[in-house]
Amino acid sequence: MRAETELQTGGKASRISGLKGFYRGKSIQFTISLSFTAIMIGCMILISILMYSQFRDSVRETTIRENRNILDQVALNVSQYTKQMMRISDTVYYNVIKNTDVSNPQDTTLIRNMNLMYESNNDSLVSIACFSESGELIVATPNALIKKGIDVKEQDWFINAGTAVENVHFSEPHISNIFEDSSQPYRWVISLSRVVELTSDRNTSRGVLLVDMDYSSISQAFPQFDARSDMSLYLMDVSGELIYHPKEDLIFSGLYRENNRAAMKYADGVHKETFEGQGRTVIVKTAGYTGWRLVIVIPDSAFGIGVNRMNLLVFPIIALSLFIIVAANLFVSSRVAQPIKRLEASVHALDEGDLNPDIYVGGPHEIEHLGATIKTLVGKMRDLMDRVVNEQEDKRRSEFDALQAQINPHFLYNTMDSIVWMIEEGRQREAISMITSFASLFRISLSKGRNIIPIRSELDHARYYLHIQNIRYRNKFRVVTDIDPCILESRTIKLIIQPLLENAIYHAMEVLDGDGIIEIRGYRCDDDVCIEVRDNGYGMSQEKAESLLHGNRESEKKDTNKKGSGIGVRNVHERIRVYFGENYGLEIESTLDVGTTCRIRLPYLRYDGEEAEL
């Protein structure tokens, strides 16, 4: 910790020295001009960023509001389209089919009325047909010749008519393939089908009414966006299947993808999403009776078009403002330069180390006040120097707190990593058990803000940690404990056993094929307490074991993300030494192919419920 503090202090001194080197030899007027210019430029940049942010948000809100209006209008058009289909269907059923006996082939009333209905709506209609429950054609217009090999009972619109809500089913866009049509054999349509009641010789039976609407009628309800904006507006049904998309040809050919499956789950309103690496704003609205959903997709790049236009106006204004600022600073600095130079000369003695210099007090009111202030500061400097001596007395406590803060993130990272891994593997029950143990473990870690706890609590902490790891490794190792009850109420620093167990698991148990053993022993040794964590892993050389406690800390910090950096073991050792003194700490004994023993040595001090002062 002392080396780290010295390194940071040295880095700050180096930056200050570099800044002084830049100003050294420059005139006071140049220094003031440059400083104030830099400050003003910084303020302008800050204001520009704030204004840019506000304008960007305004552009975004305006764009979203305008597109919501477009969405509302398109939703109205789509609703009118579906209502027209339903109105035609209702008229054909209630005014034509329901009032006609279909058993008399000589009665032309049915076909005549169907033709009239078709003629009055032929701008959007493709065909109207009625089938019996067995799939037999009753009547159709304008074409009544069914293609060979077509079984209408196998058509989706026929099957779904009986299961649709209120007996009205809207199909996905498809090519009309039922009737022979030499003029337009491949017409895209949307079909409305419904169950109807047919009258034949005063008997009633079920049938299906089919109304095919021209798909181009619905596509005309959608606006065309500027190609530069890369925006799109599409329509999908309740199952997420696309009904209309401006790039449907590319989608069907596999050259373009749309996130319609995810958009199907969105509630009506505005949503943010990332699709194929691109940020997008998605606006969703449900269109009336059918439950169809309209979606507008606005890429983040579309919001930048208005911002780029603003940049063309803002940059010239900023350039002119900078020129005015530089000129004004040069003028002002020349008015204050001379008195400041005299003041600088008078404090030269202070720079030489004289704490009682004759400070110049004169010139304009501001410079005079500055001279008086410097005199006051000289007196305060003496007081600050005295305070530095007192601050050294708190150094040991600061070092201890810093070391404590360093080990907690190390422990939390590894524990949360274990829980995330378990959830990803689908082991929810074990993950719940792990989280429960983690909560108990974390409660002990907090210890009501105390750093000093009884050994009993520290061993409970270790037990919860081992429970978590045993779940993760499916009892790959077993734990043997041998604790002398007389040490349970002795005082210890919290979180000193868990890092040793963590090292034993990651560097010994994890690489063993099985039969891993971790032994925890606690006993009195003369006037001290010893706690050992022993494993039967592959061990290490004694030189490497010593380097974990006495190695180069700076090189170790560069490796904190690498498993085995030793920062947890090092912190245990240093925290014990900071609190209890140089005679205590951690010892590591290891033999290759035999195992490793980590021994904690603490003074035997009975815990009285209150943390002792450092």
Domain boundary among 270, 303, 336: 303
Three-state secondary structure call for residue 598: strand
**Model's pTM, two decimal places?**
0.44
pLDDT (tens digit per residue) in 217-258: 777 778 876 655 678 888 888 888 888 888 888 888 888 888
pLDDT winner (highest mean) among 3-12, 363-372, 380-389: 363-372
Same domain, 508 and 462: yes
Higher pLDDT, 469 or 166: 469
What letter would DSSP give residue 594? T
Residue 227: which CATH number? 3.30.450.20
Kindly state whether residue 192 falls inside one of the protein's structural domains: no
The residue count for the chain: 614
Write phi, then psi, for 466 (nearest 5 degrees): -65, -35
Q: Choose the weakest-confidence range: 223-232, 403-412, 413-422.
A: 403-412
Same domain, 354 and 413: no
- Measured CA to CA, the distance from residue 614 to residue 608 in angstroms comes to 15
Residue 474 has pLDDT above 80, yes or no: no
Kindly state whether residue 611 falls inside one of the protein's structural domains: no
Same domain, 573 and 425: yes
pLDDT (tens digit per residue) in 72-118: 888 888 888 888 888 888 888 888 888 788 777 666 778 888 888 88
pLDDT of residue 231: 83
**Helices and strands in the chain, H and E counts:** 17, 18
Contact of 597 with 533, CB cutoff 8 Å: yes
pLDDT of residue 106: 66
Same domain, 266 and 361: no
Same domain, 279 and 409: no
Q: How many domains does the chain have?
A: 3
Residue 462: which CATH number? 3.30.565.10
Q: Is the peptide bond before 142 cis (omega within 30 degrees of 0)?
A: yes
Same domain, 363 and 249: no
Residue 68 has pLDDT above 70, yes or no: yes
DSSP for 514-553 reads S-EEEEEEEEEETTEEEEEEEE-S----HHHHHHHHHS-H
Kindly state whether residue 529 falls inside one of the protein's structural domains: yes
Same domain, 546 and 579: yes
477-483/242-244 β-pairing: unpaired
The residues, ordered by sequence, that sit 6+ positions from 292 with a Cβ below 8 Å of its Cβ are 78, 82, 170, 235, 236, 237, 238, 243, 286
Question: What angle is formed at CA 217 by the lines to CA 214 and CA 221, rounded to 5 degrees?
Answer: 155
Write phi, then psi, for 609 (nearest 5 degrees): 90, -10
Kindly state whether residue 614 falls inside one of the protein's structural domains: no
Contact of 71 with 232, CB cutoff 8 Å: no
Question: What's the whole-number average pLDDT of the chain?
Answer: 78
Question: What does the longest C-alpha to C-alpha distance in the chain come to?
Answer: 127
Q: 390 is written with which tokens? A: 């007192």
Same domain, 373 and 496: no
- Measured CA to CA, the distance from residue 140 to residue 131 in angstroms comes to 9
Same domain, 437 and 577: yes
Domain boundary among 358, 373, 391: 391
In whole angstroms, how far apart are CA 561 and each of 161, 359, 413, 547, 558? 62, 54, 11, 18, 8
Domain that holds residue 516: 395-603
Three-state secondary structure call for residue 73: helix
- Measured CA to CA, the distance from residue 89 to residue 458 in angstroms comes to 78
Residue 561's pLDDT band (boundaries 50, 70, 90)?
very low
User: What is the Cβ-side half-sphere exposure of residue 555, based on CA atoms within 13 angstroms?
Assistant: 5
Residue 404 has pLDDT above 60, yes or no: no
In whole angstroms, how far apart are CA 63 and each of 70, 144, 184, 427? 11, 50, 41, 45
Kindly state whether residue 118 falls inside one of the protein's structural domains: no
Q: 258-266 long-range contacts, Cβ below 8 Å, gap at least 24?
A: 258/232, 258/234, 258/297, 259/297, 260/234, 260/236, 260/295, 263/236, 263/293, 263/295, 264/236, 264/238, 264/239, 264/240, 264/293
pLDDT of residue 307: 59
- Measured CA to CA, the distance from residue 409 to residue 568 in angstroms comes to 10
Report the percent of the chain where pLDDT is more than 90.
11
The residues, ordered by sequence, that sit 6+ positions from 262 with a Cβ below 8 Å of its Cβ are 273, 275
Kindly state whether residue 158 falls inside one of the protein's structural domains: no
Same domain, 581 and 469: yes
Kindly state whether residue 326 falls inside one of the protein's structural domains: no
- Measured CA to CA, the distance from residue 67 to residue 145 in angstroms comes to 45
Four-CA torsion 169, 174, 180, 183, nearest 10 degrees: 120
Higher pLDDT, 2 or 386: 386
Same domain, 439 and 584: yes
- Measured CA to CA, the distance from residue 286 to residue 72 in angstroms comes to 10
- Measured CA to CA, the distance from residue 332 to residue 338 in angstroms comes to 12
Same domain, 253 and 365: no
Domain boundary among 367, 391, 415: 391
Kindly state whether residue 148 falls inside one of the protein's structural domains: no
